[in-house]
Chains A and B, each alone.
Chain A
Amino acid sequence: MPIKSGGFSRKSKTSSEVPSSSMADIAFLLLIFFMVSTVFQKDRDRPIEWPEAEATQKIDEKIKNILNIWVERNGDIFINDRPFAMTDVATTVGPLYAASDRALVISIRSDREVRYSTIDLLQQQLVAAGVMRVVFATELEQRMTRERR
């Protein structure tokens, strides 16, 4: 290239930078996309201590098809943030199960120290409601902590 105009090279008119003026638009687009596509849990977490299991697996179902039944340490039962008596569980879950086209998965989120008789009564209620798929919600236990026990 011959050097012209006293040794100064001419500047290219095309900008060498990536245009950044539309970056804010992209950011907002992503933000709005994730805001719209995120599904939040319907009910609030109850204060329970989770049981642990090594074989814990993710529930293979959409979040909207999972119904949480919380059992607190003293045996109180909560469904969708409302307390229920044990005898009302079948009549509450039954219609919800039918409305979901029998796709509903019940997640029993019980405190680890709850007496088993409570869980057994709950299972009987669920059988009476016709529910098939039940998951005992647990936290994943690492093999290391298990071997120490």
Chain B
Amino acid sequence: MAVMGKKKSKVSDEVPSSSMADIAFLLLVFFLVTTTFPKDAGLAIVLPEQGEDVAVSQRNILHIVIQPSGIVEVKRGESPQVQQVRPADVESIWRQDVAGNDNLIAAVKTHPDAPYRFMVDVLDALHTAGAERISLQILEG
């Protein structure tokens, strides 16, 4: 091995590090922009004022009863006919019914023993269908 006569390679054997800072900042900015705190989200409703009771004609009410098992019973106004559906089906029912009646109100009555998530499922379906007049009640009797 000739020590003295060894020619140095002109190509640097190091990884170029001058752009590392740029990469670091790019990552920093990327995560700053993409980070969301997912828990600050939900389904917004507006509560009525205390003592605010409004009489509504029965034919403008879509009764939605949520049973503890998660079965949803839909009843239109005073008609005795009850339709049993899944929470997600409320979306299409609302879309269908609101097309025929602009003043429709969704009266969501939940059984006291029903898990909260079924009420959220129904509320989700109503929000997805664009419903705004929603009344949340507890099932009595």
Contacts and interface: CB of A to CB of B under 8 A. Distances in A.
B115 A127 contact: no
Contacts of A52: 117, 120
Nearest to B114: A116
B115 A136 contact: no
Contacts of B112: 115-117, 120
B116 A55 contact: no
Which bucket holds chain A's interface residue count? 35 or more
A136 B42 contact: yes
Contacts of A23: 21
Contact of B41 (A45, A63, A137): A137
Contacts of A45: 39
Interface string B106-140: 00001111111111110110011000000011100
A137 to B, nearest CB: 4
Nearest to B124: A53
A110 B43 contact: no
Nearest to A135: B42
B49 A133 contact: no
A113 B138 contact: no
B23 interface: no
A64 B66 CA distance: 35
B33 interface: no
Which bucket holds chain B's interface residue count? 35 or more
Nearest to A112: B117
A140 interface: yes
A13 to B, nearest CB: 21
B40 interface: yes
B39 A134 contact: no
Given A127-B47, A131-B47, A110 B42 contact: no
A114 B113 CA distance: 9
Contacts of A66: 40
Given A56-B42, A117-B138, A140-B41, A51 B47 contact: no
A140 B110 CA distance: 22
Contact of A138 (B48, B120, B128, B138): B120
Interface in A87-116: 107-116
Given A115-B112, A134-B45, A59 B119 contact: no
Contacts of B42: 53, 56-57, 59, 107-108, 135-138
Contacts of A20: 18, 21
9 contacts: A51-B117, A55-B124, A58-B41, A112-B115, A114-B115, A134-B46, A135-B45, A138-B120, A139-B38
Interface of B: 18, 21, 28, 32, 37-50, 66, 88, 110-121, 123-124, 127-128, 136-138
